[in-house]
Structure 1
């Protein structure tokens, strides 16, 4: 569900830390992939469900949940839905 929201307007600011990249690669079994490009692709998917709860955005798509800090646009983690 793509709508006009702060996350989409600031997608160019999306980034992660070194530890965040390692955590996302491990949680999603990604190898040799740019995790930020992967997350942007998921966020831009028309089927993505975006919800802001407190200080974080949660994006659900393809049984994956991506957690993004709403103030800094740092991808904190991404993992498969349980």
Structure 2
């Protein structure tokens, strides 16, 4: 699958209530998690690839995992 599929469906990206708190804690941010992740998806510097049932977005030291079917942000964390 091409990353254009993710870009075309960017409006579908969302997360759960528990996902919000988990991602904020993992990344050490207080801003809107969904908007933060969408901005990383749209960033031309991001590496976007699909592996199995998930999309992976890597940008700098951040890696985001998004389910390819539901477009739910599963997790985001700092790459060590």
TM-score grouping bracket, smaller chain normalisation: over 0.9
Unaligned runs of 5+ in 2: none
Structure 2 match to 1:59: 57
Structure 1 match to 2:12: 13
The number of residue pairs the alignment matches comes to 79
RMSD over aligned Cα atoms: 1.1
Per-residue deviation, 1:74: 0.2
Please, what TM-score do these two structures have when normalized by structure 1?
0.92
Question: Could you list the runs of 4 or more consecutive aligned residues of structure 1 that deviate by over 2 angstroms after TM superposition?
Answer: none
CA distance in 2, matches of 1:69, 1:77: 10
Unaligned runs of 5+ in 1: none
Structure 1 match to 2:75: 77
1:29-75 Cα deviation digits (max 9, x unpaired): 012x1100000111111000001000000000021000000000000
